[in-house]
Amino acid sequence: MSAIRFPSRAVQRPRRSVISDRVNSIPASGIRRFFDLLATIDGVISLGVGEPDFVTPWHIRESAIYSVERGQTMYTSNYGLIELRIELAKHLARLYGVEYDPRTELVITAGVSEALDIAIRAIVNPGDEIIIPDPTYVSYGPCVVMAGGVVVPVPTFVENDFKVSAEEIEKRINNRTKAILIGYPNNPTGAVMAREDLKGIADVAARHDLIVISDEIYDRLVYDTEHTCFASLPGMKERTILLGGFSKSYAMTGWRVGYAAAPAEILEAMLKIHQYVLMCASTSGQKAATEALRNGEESVQRMVREYNQRRRVMHRGLIDIGLSCFEPKGAFYAFPNIEVTGLSSDEFAERLLMEEKVAVVPGTAFGQRGSGHVRCCYATSMKNINEALVRMKRFVDRYVRR
Amino acid sequence: MRKVKDILEILERDARTTPEQIAVMLDLPVDEVRQTIDQLERDKVLLKYKAVINWDKIGGEMVIALIEVKVSPQREVGFGAVAERIYRYPEARSVYLVSGTYDLSVQVVGKTMKDVADFVARKLAPIEGVQGTVTHFLLQRYKEDGDILNGEEEIERLPITP
């Protein structure tokens, strides 16, 4: 039988991108470019990290190793190991006085990153507006866009210690606004919000019936001050999605274990996404996190004391160099203003890297309001911090004199 | 008390930290830091500033032995008198009273194994009150006083992360 031949009728289609429009619209990470540049240079002191320099305490590592040895390698419940959820509920109640039902109001996720993503996807409809401070963590905007939402940035100002103001938020609310997404203590600024500040936001959320997503991954890293859990504010638990994790407080970044806490209805919606997309967080990670909550408190306190010492040295050092920098009270970042050098934040970061081999992250990677600033992480040895400050001083002196 | 502990912990980590640096790290006035350190030195809480050396790495000729010493305690003075007679010898670097099958744990340092054996046989064993000794020669030091000697592997971290 002869082959059937069809007349060639190539259909002219306009050239189109394989990649979805939505993903095309998200900017490439400003950090990636730097990463590639850094890879070409030796002997760099990096203040550009976003994770502790401590290794996960041994007793936590050991508990995971032991659990793997015993063959605990299967899926856990979608919600996460029940013993972990019970410890977590106790932990949140003890620290912040918030009561979450471990069976219906908690889910263990693959890092707080996943918790953030499913929280947004659970509540955002296409076109919904989400209010986000500027500057803030790199993922918030892109996650909202990927969920089909619209990002509404709220500028924050160094004059106000980079706290986000309730008035500025309220100005930007309209009938499409769905939620406010905040993360305090803040990456990149190191800012914290006191109870009174957060109450203002709570009032706005209540008045306009908004959800608040509160990313509290840095909750334990606060210095000379107390952390206020947003869900602990009067009337807020029912409209808050609380996000948290173990990465920063227990030095468990690579384990990918985090959590979300929310009223049952919202938690169920998040659970749906989580079960289809991830099934469950890493089993050995969850075992480790359980051990961390049970016996890791002393390690947390020790690490916080050390971070605090480094924070003071970094902050004072930056000021002595001649850069203006508000005093960060949380996380492990300082966010100095580098405009006195006459350089943009990108130029500053790039030249500092090439000329003095010190890596910092340009503030613009975190939002428009980050312009004129760089993020300096002090989660590194005192020796590195001191040496980095010496090199930065040389650099700043050169440029200020010009 | 927390302040004092913090100062001591910083100095224990790196004895070369200056009072000015400690003052910034703990947000305290420099004078207060200096005075606290002076007082701790006077009270013999802060006994010495020491560099921790891994002599194995430069091939320093040194033999270390851990000696178990069984003692018959003397009236009124117990183990203390014997311990003192031992620790007066510079070769006896550490002397501890311990529970268990023997009484004193002594760390002895010498140039050769023979030197150490001679010290035990001629100086230590004959001390009045010493019933017997068991000598263990130290073959390999892994960790001492909280410091891992042969370098932990450098922990790899990505240089930039959000």
**Mutate which of A253, A305, A357 to disrupt the B interface (most B C-beta within 10 Å)?**
A305
Residues A148 and A200 in one domain: yes
Q: Is residue A61 part of a domain?
A: no
Contact across the interface for B25 and A48, Cβ inside 8 Å: no
Kindly report the CATH number assigned to the domain that includes residue A103.
3.40.640.10
Contact across the interface for B14 and A55, Cβ inside 8 Å: no
Contact across the interface for A50 and B162, Cβ inside 8 Å: yes
Residues A261 and A380 in one domain: no
Higher pLDDT, A32 or A281: A281
Q: Which of residues 337-376 of A touch B (CB under 8 A)?
A: 359, 361, 365
Residue B50 reports pLDDT greater than 90: no
Residues A280 and A379 in one domain: no
Q: What percent of chain A has pLDDT over 70?
A: 96
- For residue B161, the chain A residues in CB contact (below 8 A) are 31, 48-51
- Which residue segment(s) compose the domain that A288 sits in? 73-294
Report the complex ipTM: 0.77
- For residue A375, the model assigns a pLDDT of 97
Q: What is the pLDDT of residues A247-303, one digit of tens each?
A: 999 999 999 999 999 999 999 999 999 999 999 999 999 999 999 999 999 999 999
For the segment A80-101, the average pLDDT, to the nearest whole number, is 98
Residues A207 and A280 in one domain: yes
**Mutate which of A309, A310, A366, A387 to disrupt the B interface (most B C-beta within 10 Å)?**
A309
Residues A246 and A305 in one domain: no
Residue A260 CB partners (closer than 8 Å, separation 6+): A106, A107, A109, A115, A118, A119, A241, A242, A243, A244, A267, A270
Choose the closest CB to A359 out of B6, B10, B159.
Answer: B159
Q: Is residue A9 part of a domain?
A: no
Contact across the interface for B160 and A359, Cβ inside 8 Å: yes
- Give A172's pLDDT tier (boundaries 50, 70, 90): very high
Q: Which chain B residue has the Cα nearest residue A33? A: B160
Residues A187 and A117 in one domain: yes
Residues A47 and A188 in one domain: no
- For residue A51, the chain B residues in CB contact (below 8 A) are 157, 161
- For residue B16, the chain A residues in CB contact (below 8 A) are none
- For residue B158, the chain A residues in CB contact (below 8 A) are 35, 49
Number of domains making up chain A: 2
Which stretches of chain B sit within 8 Å of chain A by CB? 6, 10, 14, 21, 24-27, 155, 157-162
Residues A354 and A395 in one domain: yes
Q: What is the pLDDT of residues A212-258, one digit of tens each?
A: 999 999 999 999 999 999 999 999 999 999 999 999 999 999 999 99
Q: Is residue A111 part of a domain?
A: yes
Residues A355 and A220 in one domain: no
Residues A271 and A371 in one domain: no
Q: Which helix (H) or strand (E) holds B85?
A: helix B80-87
Q: What is the pLDDT of residues B63-95, one digit of tens each?
A: 999 999 999 877 767 788 899 999 999 999 999
pTM here is: 0.88
Residue A130 CB partners (closer than 8 Å, separation 6+): A120, A124, A144, A149, A150, A151, A152, A177, A178, A179, A180, A181
Residue A160 reports pLDDT greater than 70: yes
